[in-house]
């Protein structure tokens, strides 16, 4: 078999490979969760996700730890909120080891609080709203204007690259060579692709991951070193990390590089997948396209309701740090607890007609961006990017609509959800 060099790795292929790994068997996960809530009870003793044929932390450890799966809104909220009892450190045991302990997702307690405090200001709305003009410019000039004359397209062709292009620029990578971003993003996806359940694929996927991790390290280090050597301060993520100080601690180059690298997989394809879900709901819901086109103030509601109804990540896992109990079921210390986000987000006891997509519903917290201490730090950036993208599409692609020559878009995937192509026409 020809092995792919890190240079050859294409963004589209890397994205497809991740989608294939996390798509699973095709069993309808929403239906399965509803059935469990109605007939099976609030706690499933075991790895509920196994049936969908996607890699889980429990599965990768081959049943060596007791595993419990929860479905109800209130239980998911309690687990995500209580990061002392339900910890994330185990994430660093597998691929996290590549990140030298500097992966924020896998930090607990005081270390997490400190790192989060250091990074958080760069991601708050008051910081990121300043980037709106640049995001709009990139979206319009680099993506939609070159497309406008074609009058038809698969909108996900730019949906894959657009969040990456925006995010890397905001992080502080030089903007003069966007092609490089594609390569970096492909590497970032290859890191994620290292989790495989098929034993014949594990070795090759891990090898690819290893190459990608190293290649990304070297590329980011170059950028950080150049930035440190220049006296000019730029208000982007790398600039902020170079000057960041929290309780007397500053970051050295190795720490900055490792951090930035661990952010990359979180920052690109999550937005692509979510944008694909948002557009699918926009096009497939009767009357919605015209309503939102005519009233752009509805875009945030469209995004929020999609993140509730079709979260791109279907579950999150935590480890019990002590013996505990959920709904009368004893959870021994060391167990995995899988919170089914996809279930809690439609729990009928909290969301009236939870299985109905309704952008006019009264919004309540849901879990598509997580909840509690680890809640997505990049959610405001992602929402801003999607908002700019949808606005620009309406402005530059008149009478945008689905292309009747293609099947209507479908959201699929058991672990990572999304829609791979959305064929549209405009006048």
Residues that bind ligand HEM (CB under 6 A): 88, 104-105, 116, 167, 263, 266-267, 270-271, 274, 312-313, 316, 368-370, 374, 376-378, 381-382
Instruction: Give whichever of 380 and 406 is closer to ligand HEM, judged by the CB atom.
Output: 380
- The rounded distance, in Å, linking the Cα atoms of 269 and 332 is 35
Q: How is the beta sheet containing 423-425 ordered, strand by strand? A: 152-154, 423-425, 401-402
Closest distance between ligand HEM and the C-beta of residue 274, in Å? 3
Smallest gap, in angstroms, from Cβ of residue 207 to ligand HEM?
Answer: 26
Nearer to ligand HEM, 273 or 426 (CB): 273
What is the rounded distance in angstroms from the CA atom of residue 119 to the CA atom of residue 100? 18
Cβ closer to ligand HEM: 103 or 292? Answer: 103
Concatenate the DSSP letters of all residues of 328-357 into one string: TEEE-TT-EEEEEHHHHTT-TTTSTTTTS-
Neighbouring CB atoms inside 10 A of 255's CB total 18
Query: Which of residues 127 and 211 has its CB atom nearest to ligand HEM in the complex?
Result: 127
Chain residue at closest Cβ approach to ligand HEM: 378
- Minimum distance, C-beta of residue 270 to ligand HEM, in the bound complex (Å): 3
Residue 407's nearest CA partner among 310, 275, 284, 277 is: 284
Q: Among residues 357 and 406, whose Cβ is nearest to ligand HEM?
A: 357
Q: Smallest distance from the beta carbon of 158 to ligand HEM, in angstroms?
A: 16
Question: How distant is the alpha carbon of residue 353 from its chain centre?
Answer: 26
Residue 199 Cβ, how far from ligand HEM at the closest point, in Å?
Answer: 26
Q: CB 345 → ligand HEM: shortest distance, Å?
A: 11
Q: Which CB sits closer to ligand HEM, 48 or 426? A: 48
Are 209 and 193 spatial neighbours (Cβ–Cβ below 8 Å)? yes
Tell me how far apart the alpha carbons of residues 100 and 323 are, in angstroms, rounded to a whole number: 29
Classify each residue of 206-232 as buried b or exposed e, where b means 16 or more C-beta atoms within 10 Å of its C-beta.
bebbbbbbebbbebbbebbeebeeeee
Chain-centre distance for alpha carbon 356: 23
């Amino acid at each position: 078999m020809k092995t792919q060099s890190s240079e050859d790795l294409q963004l589209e292929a890397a994205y497809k490979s991740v989608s294939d790994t996390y798509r699973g068997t095709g069993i309808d996960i929403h239906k399965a969760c509803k059935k469990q809530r109605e007939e099976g009870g609030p706690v499933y003793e075991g790895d509920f996700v196994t049936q969908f044929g996607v890699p889980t932390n429990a599965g990768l450890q081959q049943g060596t730890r007791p595993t419990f799966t929860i479905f109800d809104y209130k239980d998911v909220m309690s687990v995500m909120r209580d990061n002392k009892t339900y910890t994330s450190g185990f994430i660093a045991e597998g691929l996290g080891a590549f990140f030298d302990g500097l992966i924020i997702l896998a930090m607990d307690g005081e270390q997490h609080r400190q790192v989060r405090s250091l990074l958080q200001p760069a991601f708050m709305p008051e910081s990121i709203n300043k980037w709106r003009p640049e995001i709009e410019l990139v979206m319009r000039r680099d993506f939609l204007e070159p497309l406008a004359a074609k009058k038809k397209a698969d909108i996900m062709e730019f949906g894959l690259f657009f969040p990456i292009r925006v995010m890397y620029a905001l992080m502080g990578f030089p903007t003069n060579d966007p092609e490089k971003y594609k390569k970096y993003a492909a590497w970032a996806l290859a890191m994620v692709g290292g989790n495989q359940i098929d034993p014949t694929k594990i070795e090759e996927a891990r090898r690819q991951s290893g190459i990608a991790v190293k290649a990304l390290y070297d590329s980011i280090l170059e950028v950080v070193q150049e930035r440190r050597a220049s006296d000019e301060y730029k208000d982007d993520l790398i600039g902020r990390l170079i000057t960041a100080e929290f309780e007397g601690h500053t970051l050295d180059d190795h720490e900055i590089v490792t951090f930035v690298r661990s952010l990359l997989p979180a920052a690109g394809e999550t937005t692509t997948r979510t944008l694909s879900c948002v557009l699918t709901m926009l096009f497939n819901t009767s009357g919605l396209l015209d309503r939102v086109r005519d009233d752009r103030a509805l875009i945030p509601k469209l995004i929020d309701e999609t993140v509730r109804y079709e979260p791109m990540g279907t579950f999150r896992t935590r480890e019990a740090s002590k013996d505990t109990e959920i709904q009368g079921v004893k959870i021994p210390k060391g167990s995995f607890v899988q919170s089914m986000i996809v279930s809690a987000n439609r729990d009928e006891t909290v969301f009236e007609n939870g299985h109905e997509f309704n952008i006019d519903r009264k919004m309540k917290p849901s879990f598509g961006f997580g909840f509690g201490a680890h809640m997505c730090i990049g959610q405001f950036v992602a929402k801003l990017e999607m908002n700019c993208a949808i606005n620009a599409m309406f402005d530059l692609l008149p009478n945008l609509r689905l292309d009747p020559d293609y099947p209507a878009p479908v959201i699929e995937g058991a672990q990572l959800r999304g829609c791979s192509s959305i064929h549209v026409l405009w006048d």
